[in-house]
């Protein structure tokens, strides 16, 4: 019988999947559905800084940005190297298959280059995870790592569940196996992003790590709860909430920025031609008619714009 990771699909998990899909739909049809290069880079920087901060890297967002811009940064050489490695790894994601062991090892080689001697190789010794001096998780013996990862990747290639759930299951199982001597946390988060990006490309630039960073204790507690139950359900529920909250944050930021830009363009066009129609405005600005309608209503609610006369045959009056 093929390997099946233990988990339970609860009503809470189903609800969170539905909520995330709804948010994704809103993101896809928004003006920023196709992220600008600058927004992609900003989100990538947030992802890298947060994922490394979880592993005790002390560099700030500003310092990480400076490193990636080739500017000198006052920081530990190892931490600067971690930033460069992480950026290189995330940039290579489009070339990798989530279920490929070769690609997994290549990713680890990039992520840990110059930081460990065995970058790109599964661990050869036992490893335990400690909280202070207390053992909280003893990973499987090194001799079993290759087979366990092969089983997990084989399951992932045809996982009988929604990709959102499959990505969370993989993340937990990967951390349980702990296949590398170092870098397992950042690799697990990177690989979950890869899995999700194969389902929805927008998710390659979702900085969920920044949400995890603010809930780091809850993240480790969810891993511990899953360990205790020998079932990844608690971790799935935690990660889906983190994904949902990260998407809400991105939507809030992009909609606010976009709304302001679009509203300003609409007002400028209507000052020139108060008879402009919604399709004409949409074409002139380069956004959807739905976006124009949404911004027109917002401008009216703010008493910055008024409609004079009927929907057909009337005109717009810019108030301020």
pLDDT tens digits along 20-31: 999 998 887 765
Average pLDDT value for residue range 229-252: 93
Longest CA–CA span in the chain (Å) reads 78
29-81 per-position pLDDT tens digit:
765 555 667 778 888 999 999 999 999 999 999 999 999 999 999 999 999 99
pLDDT at 30: 65
Q: Which pLDDT value is given to residue 200?
A: 94
Annotated catalytic residue within 137, 162, 178, 315: 178
Give 298-309 pLDDT, tens digit per residue: 888 888 888 888
* Beta-carbon contacts of residue 298 (< 8 Å; ≥ 6 apart): 259, 263
From the annotation, which residues make up the binding site for ATP? 182-189, 219-220
Domains annotated on the chain, with CATH: 11-253 (1.10.3290.10), 273-318 (1.10.10.10)
H or E element that contains 308: strand 305-308
Average per-residue pLDDT for the chain: 90
Residue 178: active-site member: yes
Hey, CA dihedral for 232, 189, 219, 38, is it positive or negative? negative
Residue 200 dihedral angles phi and psi, to the nearest 5°: -135, 110
Task: Show the 3-state SS of 197-264.
Answer: HHHCHHHHHCCHHHHHHHCHHHHHHHHHHHHHHCCCHHHHHHHHHHHHHHHHHHHHHHHHHHHHHHHH
- Strand 128-131 vs strand 134-138: parallel, antiparallel, or unpaired? antiparallel
**90-116 confidence digits (pLDDT tens):** 999 999 999 999 999 999 999 999 999
């Amino acid at each position: 019988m093929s390997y099946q990771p233990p988990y339970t699909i609860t009503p809470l998990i189903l609800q969170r999947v539905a909520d995330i899909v709804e948010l994704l739909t809103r993101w896809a049809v928004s003006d920023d559905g196709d992220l600008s290069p600058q927004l992609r880079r900003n989100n990538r920087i947030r992802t890298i800084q947060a994922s490394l901060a979880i592993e005790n890297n002390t560099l700030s967002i500003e310092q990480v940005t400076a490193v990636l811009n080739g500017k000198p940064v006052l920081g530990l050489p190892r931490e600067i190297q971690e930033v460069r490695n992480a950026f290189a790894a995330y940039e290579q994601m489009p070339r990798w298959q989530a279920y490929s062991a070769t690609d997994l090892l290549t990713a680890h080689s990039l992520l840990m280059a110059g930081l460990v001697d065995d970058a790109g190789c599964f661990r050869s010794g036992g490893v335990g995870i400690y909280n202070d001096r207390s053992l909280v998780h003893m990973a499987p013996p090194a001799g079993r790592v290759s087979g366990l990862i092969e089983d997990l990747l084989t399951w992932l290639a045809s996982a009988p569940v929604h990709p959102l759930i499959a990505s969370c299951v993989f993340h937990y199982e990967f951390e349980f196996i702990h296949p590398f001597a170092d870098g397992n946390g950042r690799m697990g988060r990177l690989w979950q992003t890869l899995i999700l990006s194969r389902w929805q490309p927008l998710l390659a630039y979702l900085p969920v790590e920044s949400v995890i960073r603010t809930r780091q204790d809850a993240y480790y507690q969810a891993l511990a709860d899953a360990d205790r139950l020998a079932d990844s359900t608690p971790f799935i529920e935690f990660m889906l909430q983190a994904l949902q909250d990260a998407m809400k944050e991105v939507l809030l930021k992009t909609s606010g920025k976009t709304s302001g830009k679009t509203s300003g363009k609409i007002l400028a066009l209507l000052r020139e031609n108060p008879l402009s129609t919604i399709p004409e405005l949409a074409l002139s600005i380069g956004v959807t008619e739905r976006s124009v309608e949404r911004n027109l209503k917002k401008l009216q609610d703010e008493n910055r714009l008024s409609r004079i006369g009927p929907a057909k045959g009337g005109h717009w009056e810019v108030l301020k």
